[in-house]
Amino acid sequence: MNNIISENKIISPINLKNKFSINNSIKNKIINSIKIISNIINGKDKRLLIICGPCSIHDFNSSIDYAKLLYNLSLELNDKLYIVMRAYIEKPRTSIGWKGIVNDPMIDNSCNIEKGLNISRELLIQLIDIGIPISTEILNLNIYKYFDDLFSWVSIGARTSESQIHREFSSSLSIPVGFKNNTNGDILSSINAIKTSLKPHTYLGINDFGNLCIIKTKGNKNNHIILRGSKNKPNYFPEDINNCINLINENNLNSKIIIDCSHDNSYKDYSKQLDVSKAVIDQINNNNNLIGLMIESYIYNGNQLINNKLKYGISITDGCIGWKETKFLLKYLYNNFNR
């Protein structure tokens, strides 16, 4: 019995990269942002790393508008905060649901992936051109290959941090990678992911031409942990962070920690991200192991159900704080960060 309905060839990564190429100015912006983030992770840059933006990208125009707002604010705060925009083009699902702009760009279950690849690459380049570095979560390794020259920071999510191929793949990356604790709150999964990513690996993967290849890696030295809470409770309290640091030390690692202010740390209530951030900033000031925060933010508060009359600037996945709240929060962090 064959459950495959169809197989359709699509554009190769190299052809999409040639279609939407990046100029030297954009390349230099990406190189510079990767260096800065790596320096923050390794303690050479004392600024606070902020990963901030929509839960997921679903609309071209509002994403551009948000990026302009975030970039302009980042210029004001740049001496103490280094801000990177969330540009999540895939959406992990606990069960079923919309899987992101790459997989279903029309948000109608037509799943025109080639169109999604085109729209996403064009959009991401425009975001970088505005001046803001971008980040994403790596889900489908084949999809990431179409955009691997654009991102300055990536995460491996709670559902994939225990995946062997994602750990091996991260060892091939030349950019910083954050590993989230799993949905049950197990930090050891992140520890083991980092230990794996640090080492060289050999695995099957695709190259820019779409060919299946044996890929040998050097290992990635710029890894860190993301604490995102668990199904049972948040894990941004001092005892949780101390436990994480102890595990890092017991495993002879030098990894740093970012706190995800959303997801289970906010009890899945987007408005509580402000409370989490305020609770964490004092810890950050007194703990060099804490290097940043993740915040889900968009133009307007909340989220909306998917229908044929989507409202501008509102998330269609997890709820986000609006721009007014985002601006207040980032300025609060700026004024209270004094490490």
pLDDT digits (tens, 9 = 90+) for 242-287: 999 999 999 999 999 999 999 999 999 999 999 999 999 999 999 9
pLDDT of residue 95 exceeding 80: no
pLDDT of residue 5 exceeding 90: yes
215 closest CA partner among 203, 227, 229, 224: 203
pLDDT of residue 67 exceeding 90: yes
| Beta bridge mates, 156 | 179
In degrees, to the nearest 5, what angle opens at C-alpha 322 toward C-alphas 78 and 184?
90
Collect all residues with Cβ–Cβ distance below 8 Å to 226 and sequence separation of at least 6. Answer: 155, 178, 179, 180, 181, 190, 257, 258, 259, 260, 294
Confidence (pLDDT) at 109: 95
Strands 202-206 and 48-53: unpaired
Query: With pLDDT > 70 as the criterion, what percentage of the chain qualifies?
Result: 100
pLDDT of residue 304 exceeding 80: yes
pLDDT of residue 92 exceeding 90: no
pLDDT of residue 94 exceeding 90: no
The 10 Å Cβ neighbour count of residue 201 is 19
pLDDT of residue 12 exceeding 90: yes
d(Cα 40, Cα 293) in Å, to the nearest integer? 12
The pLDDT tens digits of the residues spanning 134-185 come to: 999 999 999 999 999 999 999 999 999 999 999 999 999 999 999 999 999 9
pLDDT of residue 1 exceeding 90: no
Find the mean pLDDT for residues 101-125: 98
The band of 93, judged by pLDDT with boundaries at 50, 70 and 90, is confident
Find the mean pLDDT for residues 71-97: 94
Strands 202-206 and 212-216: antiparallel
Confidence (pLDDT) at 68: 99
pLDDT of residue 339 exceeding 90: no
75 to each of 71, 78, 79, 83, 84, how far by Cα in Å? Answer: 6, 5, 8, 9, 12
- Give me the domains of the chain, ranges plus CATH numbers: 13-336 (3.20.20.70)
| Beta bridge mates, 137 | 155
Output the pTM of the full model. Answer: 0.97
pLDDT of residue 15 exceeding 90: yes
Confidence (pLDDT) at 13: 99
Q: Name the residue with tokens 């955009």.
A: 147
Confidence (pLDDT) at 266: 97
Mean pLDDT of the chain: 97
Confidence (pLDDT) at 124: 99
First to last CA, the chain: 62
Helix/strand/coil (H/E/C) assignment for every residue in the chain: CCCCCCCCCCCCHHHHHHHCCCCHHHHHHHHHHHHHHHHHHCCCCCCEEEEEECCCCCCHHHHHHHHHHHHHHHHHHCCCEEEEEECCCCCCCCCCCCCCCCCCCCCCCCCCHHHHHHHHHHHHHHHHHHCCCEEEECCCHHHHCCCCCCCCEEEECCCCCCCHHHHHHHCCCCCCEEEECCCCCCCHHHHHHHHHHCCCCEEEEECCCCCEEEEECCCCCCEEEEECCCCCCCCCCHHHHHHHHHHHHHCCCCCCEEEECCHHHHCCCHHHHHHHHHHHHHHHHCCCCEEEEEEEECCCCEECCCCCCCCCCCECCCCEECHHHHHHHHHHHHHHCCC
225 is written with which tokens? 């942990």
pLDDT of residue 308 exceeding 90: no
Q: How would you label 256-280 residue by residue, b for 16+ Cβ within 10 Å and e otherwise? A: bbbbbbbbbbbeeebebbbebbebb
Confidence (pLDDT) at 96: 82
